Amino acid sequence: MIKIYPLREIQYQVNKSKDFNVVNDLDLVDEANGYVLTVRPFLIHLNDELILIDAGFGYHVEGKSALVQRIEEIGFYATAITKILISHLHKDHIGGIGKIINGKVEVYFPNAKIYIHEDEMIYAMAQQENASYKNDIVKGLQYHPQVNYLRETKGEIIPGVQFEKVGGHVPHQIVFWIADEEDIIFYGADNLPQLSYLKYDMAFKNDVDGKAGQESRRIWHKQMVDESWTVLFYHGRRTSIKKF
């Protein structure tokens, strides 16, 4: 049986410059100054594996990683994480993976293998002027000993965990399926960040290739209904998990 733990980091207001400001009271938010974004990595317990899916923005509470605190609150330690799956390298998905010390990334999860698509790393390294990326984190991970590069369009990472490079939100966006004999868990990352994306058959302007994202959702929606997928929503404000 697969166990899923949503790890809500916090909510942010994001402005046109891609600045992330913490939101403590939604009633005080003026959405003319930017949209509200929930950031929610997931921890998956599959057999002997503890798998972290994406790593949050990097919010800290009293000097300690909020993501690490969330993991401890459900009874695990950062040292127990065995795998980290990174869908893409935008700062709200990778910023919480560790801290910069002397120009190097010290990963909060020292025993985890980190999986990143090599094409995404090459693309991100060329985005030095793009505010969606934390350049120091990206650069620090490029040759990090914990990073394992995915190079195929699709494949199996470990038994029960599959990936596919689909593009859409970013050119080399990857998505994940985690399955056992009972369940199929699907994570569409920012091609399917909220449940509402399934309600509107449209290309979204915040995607590099909105039409690719739209087409992916059409295909997935039919499959998730036919095969009773459990879907994870990284940016879902109200719904984080839904069984179809």
Contact of 7 with 67, CB cutoff 8 Å: yes
Q: What pLDDT shows up at residue 237?
A: 87
Contact of 113 with 84, CB cutoff 8 Å: yes
Tokens of 76: 């695990």
DSSP H or E segment with residue 70? helix 66-73
Q: What pLDDT shows up at residue 235?
A: 96
Q: What pLDDT shows up at residue 118?
A: 99
DSSP-derived 3-state class of residue 208: coil
Tokens of 239: 């719904």
Q: Is the dihedral of CA 58, 62, 63, 69 positive or negative?
A: negative
Q: What pLDDT shows up at residue 64?
A: 95
Instruction: Give the mean pLDDT per block of 10 residues along the chain (244 residues).
Output: 94 81 68 80 98 97 95 98 99 97 96 99 96 96 98 98 98 98 97 95 90 96 98 95 98
The hierarchical CATH code for the domain 3-243 is 3.60.15.10
Of 115, 105, 244, 104, whose CA–CA distance to 185 is shortest? Answer: 244
Q: What pLDDT shows up at residue 14?
A: 82
Over its C-alpha atoms, the chain yields an Rg (Å, rounded) of 17
Contact of 84 with 49, CB cutoff 8 Å: no
Q: How far apart are CA 228 and CA 225, in angstroms?
A: 5
Q: What pLDDT shows up at residue 32?
A: 67
Q: What pLDDT shows up at residue 28?
A: 59
Which residues, 6+ apart, have CB-to-CB distance to 89 below 8 Å? 116, 120, 121, 124, 133, 138, 141
Of 182, 160, 175, 181, whose CA–CA distance to 219 is shortest? Answer: 175
